Structure 1
C-alpha cells in the first residue's frame, strides 16, 4: 500500500513539473513576443538597428516584429514641425537696432539621414534658424524688414534649407513674426507719417483751391455780362448770414454799383476837383494875332530910349535892391494885417 501511494505521488509530481515547464515556456514566449512586437503609426517610420548597425529598409506603418535583445527600433516623426525662433537682436544695414523673431516649418523626408547624420535635427535646425535670422538682419534695411518681408522670408528659407538637406530635413516655410523697434524710432516714424499725411492734405487743398479759382473765374466772367447777377449774389450772401442770428451784420457794398447812380455831369465834376484829374478845358481858344509889317521909317533906332533907366543906375542906394520893384505879395499881406491891428 505505501508503495502504491509513492508511485502515484511520483507520477503526479512529474506531471506537475511538465505542466509548470510548459506554462513557463508559454509565459516566456508571450513575453518575448510582446517585446518583439512593434506598432508604427501612420505618421511615423521605423529604423531597425541590429547590434548597432542600421538594417536596410524602413518599417512602414502597421505591425512589425524585431528580434528581442538584438534589434532596436527607432521611430522618426514625419509630421511638419513648428519651431519658434527666439527673438534675435541685431543692427540693420542703416544702423537701427531691432529685435526680430520668426517661426520655421520643416519636416523630415529622409529618416535615416535625420538619425545618422545629425545628433538632434530639431536642435540643429533651431540653431541654424537663429544664425540665419541674425545674418538677414545685418544685410537688410529697416524699410525691408517692415514692408518687404516676403523677400526676406524667401532668403531666410534658402539659408536654412541649404544645410538642412544633408540632414534629411526640408524647410517648408519661414515667417518673420514681429519686428520690435526702439521707442525713439517709433516716434520718428510717427512724425514722418504725420508729415507725409500733412503734405498730402496740403496738396489736395491746393488742388481744390486751384479748381475753385477756375470755377470762380468762370462765374465772374459770367456775372460781368449781367451786372444784376452780382446784386442778386450779394443779397443771397446777406440772407445766408442773417440766418445765423448774429448781433453784427457786415454788409459789403461793391463800388461798381455806384456807376449806375452816376450822371454824366457828376462824373465830370468828380474828375475836376482839386487833386483829381481835370476834364477838358472850357476856355475859348485865342485867335492868332495878325502880323503887322512896319515901314522902314518907323524902325526903332538902336540904343536906349530917351528917359530909360540904364542898368548902371540900379542900386544907387548901395544896398543892391531895386527902388522901383513892386512889393512882394507876402509883404502886402503883412502890411494889411498890421493896419487892421
Structure 2
C-alpha cells in the first residue's frame, strides 16, 4: 500500500469517527476548539474529529430525594422534614456552560430552600398547609435554577417528624376540641328541647282541655302495661263537663 493510499485510508477512518448517534431524549452540546458551537441530536449527526467534541445531556425528568433535614419552625419547634423534587433540563447549553454540575446544584439549592421555608412557617401551617408550602418551595427553587436551564416541575414534602412530647400535646389538644364540640352539640340539643317544651306549655296554658287530653293519653299508656293498677284523680271541672255532656245526650235520645 502506497503512502497516498494510507493517508486516504486514515482520512476516511477519521471522517467516519466523527459520526455520532444519540437517543431521542438526549441532546449534545458541541464545542469547537473550546467554544460553544451548536446543539446536536437526536439521531445521527457528524462533528469534526479532533477539532470538535461534545457533552451529552439527558432531557428527561429526573427525581431528587432531599434527605431528612432537622430545622426549626417559626414558633421554635424542632422538626425533621424530607422531600422529593422532580426537574428536567430545558436548555442543554446553559446546563453545561452556566453551572459545573447541575444535578448537584439543584440538590443543594433544594436543601437550603427547604430549611428556609420551614423556618418561615408555624408548625400548624407546616402540617396543614403542605400544598401551599410545596408550591412556594417549587417557585423558590425554580427561580434559582432558571439561569441554569433547569425547570423544577414539582416538589413534595414526604414526611414531617415532630418530637414525641409535641405529638402528645397535639393529641390532648385534639381531644379537648372534640370534647368541646360534643358539649356544644349537647347544649344546642337541650336548648331546642327547652324551646319545644316552652311552646307546648304555652299551648296548654291557652287551652286547658289539652292538658286533660294529654293526661288521659298518659293514663292509657300506663294502663297498657300488665299487672298495673292506676288510680286517677279527675278534676271536678272535667267531671262536671262530662256529666253535662251525658245529660245532653240523654235528652237528645228521649226527644227522638
1:57 aligned counterpart, secondary structure: strand
Moved more, 130-139 or 212-221: 212-221
Residue 120 of structure 1 is matched in structure 2 by: 101
Residue 169 of structure 2 is matched in structure 1 by: 188
Which of the two has higher C-alpha Rg? Answer: 1
Moved more, 223-232 or 81-90: 223-232
Q: Please state which structure has a larger fraction of its residues in helix.
A: 2
Shift in alpha-carbon separation, 1:216–1:75, aligned structure 2, 3 A: same
Of 19, 23, 26, 1:44 maps to 26
With the length of structure 2 as denominator, give the TM-score of the two structures: 0.77
Larger relative contact order (CA 8 Å, sep ≥ 6)? 2
How do 1:1-341 residues align onto structure 2 when only pairs under 5 Å count?
32=14, 35-51=17-33, 53-224=34-205, 225-226=208-209, 227-235=211-219, 238=222, 242=225, 257=233, 259-260=235-236
Report the Cα offset of residue 90 of structure 1. 0.9
Listed as ranges, the gaps of 5+ residues in structure 2 are 238-256
Shift in alpha-carbon separation, 1:43–1:209, aligned structure 2, 3 A: same
Cα contact 1:223–1:229 (8 A) shared by 2: no
CA distance in 2, matches of 1:57, 1:23: 32
- Equivalenced residues, count: 234
With the length of structure 1 as denominator, give the TM-score of the two structures: 0.60
Cα contact 1:38–1:64 (8 A) shared by 2: yes
Q: Please state which structure has a larger fraction of its residues in strand.
A: 2
| C-alpha RMSD of the superposition | 3.2
Report the Cα offset of residue 25 of structure 1. 7.0
Cα contact 2:31–2:37 (8 A) shared by 1: no
Residue 308 of structure 1 is matched in structure 2 by: none
1:56 aligned counterpart, secondary structure: strand
